[in-house]
Amino acid sequence: MLSRPAAVQDQTWDPMDKLTQFGDMPADDFRRYGYEVVDWLANYFERIEEFPVLSQVRPDDVKNALPASAPEQGEPFGEVLRDVDRVILPAVTHWNHPNFHGLFSTSTSSVGVFAEMFAAAFDMKAMLWRTAPASTELEDVVLDWLRQMTGLPDVFEGIIYDTASVSTMHAIAAARERADPESRKLGLLGRGEAPRMRVYLSEHVHSSIDKSVITLGLGIQSLRRIETNERFEMIPEKLAEAIDDDIEAGILPICAIPTIGTTSTTSIDPVAAVADICEKYGIWMHVDAAYAGSAAIVPELQPLFAGWERADSIVMNPHKWLFTPFDLSVLYCRDLDDLKKAFSLVPEYLKTDDAERVKNGMDYGIQLGRRFRSLKLWFVMRYFGRSGLIARIREHCRLARTFAARVEESPNWEVAAPVPFALVCFRAKAGDIDAANALNEEIMRIVNSSGKAYISHTKLNGRITLRLSVGSVHVEERHIEKVWQLLETAYEQAAK
């Protein structure tokens, strides 16, 4: 429990009191509770390792702990805070825990939390420049800082969305707009001459792309998955063949999506070769670097991104590996006007006389109001500095390589894919595939139910493969040592 110091007493809160019947919490109370909340959060970060990484609650525990209806009368806010301890905290899976190694290990930083407080307090909706000049202009500034840090050329301009899923959906919409401008007005249905469209990707892409084509009405059948090699990288010759094939069949290729840092293994599609093909056929190239994009700030890793500077659009997620609280995804476009053509639509009540001079966020996507997300990235960049961010990501990659070396040295384990960034795919060895799959599932179950660490898995060529992602701002060498010991112990237990 991170409960409140005993000294803190709730002031009498009487909802029927004339003073409190209208308006917000009195400023003095806000100040008092505010200090208390900050203390709580400081304790939380300090003591995070005491909590089980994966929440140990069962389904419905949270619902059962809460009343079925909202309170009729307001309650003292201290009561609410007590329930954060009692009901919410036990049901938190601690993404900020340094031994959260599942999926991708992502974490916030303290300054990111501060930024969220300001953003909530200002509560601005960045639809028009004039409704949110700070948000609109800071977004341009931090996205240009990030662009410079990642080594992208200055033709790229960015826009912030919530998640990579949404960034990619917008990129494909822009690609569709370019390939078939009629579709914006006429839609895709009931047009005799409407072309069938195709989006190309590897077998290892993220499911967000499937959701994008569902949403855009292209349908899952518009996806064509290109074979990968033994390193899980798209084979460019197969891509070229697929495009020829489709053109022959009267299908309109609109977009190819190479990934730098696939979700399963962080493999890297040959982006430069895909760019050659996209240029030859005049197809939009969208690079999915949702996870790995942050690593492009590390000079010695930049060669892994070769070719992405030729993209039409690129997505990267500072909320994944740049210590920025969820959510903040960036879509960089070679020509942001492509996005504007797909989405701009200005009703009379939103027309302004400065529209030619300023950027209005609402013109670049489906949202009208947009959160003040750039503030947290700005806080993070200023607090850590470019060199501080580089040092942290570089260290995560080093820790991942250290872990991979441990795995390789051990007779019981093997590394299952190259480790270009900070994710290690590995598995325990056993007789045949079925025995190995059962063994690895059991090891994962033992580790995860211990509450001491969290790892996840993927399937590579039919084989259950464990994934260890290193990316928390809190992670140190001892945490990697700890998870290795846990795995060794689990192996002994499961192999018996």
Ligand X SMILES: *Cc1c(COP(=O)(O)O)cnc(C)c1O
Main-chain dihedrals φ then ψ at residue 213, nearest 5 degrees? -70, -30
Structure tokens at 358: 């300023």
Compare residues 142 and 166 and give the one whose CB is closer to ligand X.
Answer: 166
Nearest to 366 by CA among 131, 156, 171, 211: 171
- Residue from 99, 136, 329, 448 touching ligand X (CB under 6 A): that is 329
Q: Which range of residues in 86-94, 118-126, 285-293, 462-470 is near ligand X by CB under 6 A? A: 285-293
- Residue from 165, 440, 458, 469 touching ligand X (CB under 6 A): that is 165
Q: What is the dihedral of CA 161, 162, 166, 168, to 10 degrees?
A: 60
In which order are the strands placed within the sheet that holds 456-460? 413-415, 423-428, 463-469, 456-460
Q: CB–CB of 489/443 below 8 Å? A: no
Burial class (CB in 10 A: 0-12, 13-18, 19+), 150: buried
The Cα–Cα gap between 350 and 348 comes to: 5
Compare residues 168 and 222 and give the one whose CB is closer to ligand X.
Answer: 168
Position 291 contacts ligand X (CB under 6 A): yes
Compare residues 131 and 212 and give the one whose CB is closer to ligand X.
Answer: 212
Compare residues 317 and 437 and give the one whose CB is closer to ligand X.
Answer: 317
Non-local (6+) Cβ contacts of 278 within 8 A are 256, 284, 285, 310
Q: CB–CB of 36/6 below 8 Å? A: no
Position 269 contacts ligand X (CB under 6 A): no
Instruction: Transcribe 171-234 into DSSP letters.
Output: HHHHHHHHH-THHHHH-SSS-TTPPEEEEEEETT--THHHHHHHHTTS-GGGEEEEPB-TTS-B
Compare residues 164 and 407 and give the one whose CB is closer to ligand X.
Answer: 164
Which residues from 22-51 bind ligand X, rule CB under 6 A? none
Instruction: Tell me the closest approach of the beta carbon of residue 45 to ligand X, in angstroms.
Output: 23
Compare residues 163 and 324 and give the one whose CB is closer to ligand X.
Answer: 163
The Cα–Cα gap between 164 and 168 comes to: 6
Check residue 95 and report its DSSP letter. Answer: T
Q: Which range of residues in 30-38, 86-94, 162-170, 356-364 is near ligand X by CB under 6 A? A: 162-170
Which residues lie across from 259 on neighbouring strands? 288
Position 259 contacts ligand X (CB under 6 A): yes
Q: Which range of residues in 77-85, 238-246, 286-294, 465-473 is near ligand X by CB under 6 A? A: 286-294
- Residue from 263, 264, 313, 465 touching ligand X (CB under 6 A): that is 263
Instruction: Tell me the closest approach of the beta carbon of residue 348 to ligand X, in angstroms.
Output: 34
Compare residues 274 and 490 and give the one whose CB is closer to ligand X.
Answer: 274
Compute how many other C-beta atoms are within 10 angstroms of the C-beta atom of residue 392.
21
Interaction pattern, residues 190-229, with ligand X; x per rule: CB under 6 A? ----------------x-x---------------------
The Cα–Cα gap between 417 and 463 comes to: 12
Instruction: Tell me the closest approach of the beta carbon of residue 292 to ligand X, in angstroms.
Output: 8
Position 163 contacts ligand X (CB under 6 A): yes
Position 105 contacts ligand X (CB under 6 A): no
The label of the residue with tokens 């494909």 reads 172
Interaction pattern, residues 107-146, with ligand X; x per rule: CB under 6 A? ----------------------------------------
- Residue from 53, 160, 164, 416 touching ligand X (CB under 6 A): that is 164
- Residue from 177, 233, 288, 338 touching ligand X (CB under 6 A): that is 288
Compare residues 98 and 261 and give the one whose CB is closer to ligand X.
Answer: 261
Which chain residues interact with ligand X by CB under 6 A? 163-165, 206, 208, 259, 261-263, 288, 290-291, 317, 329
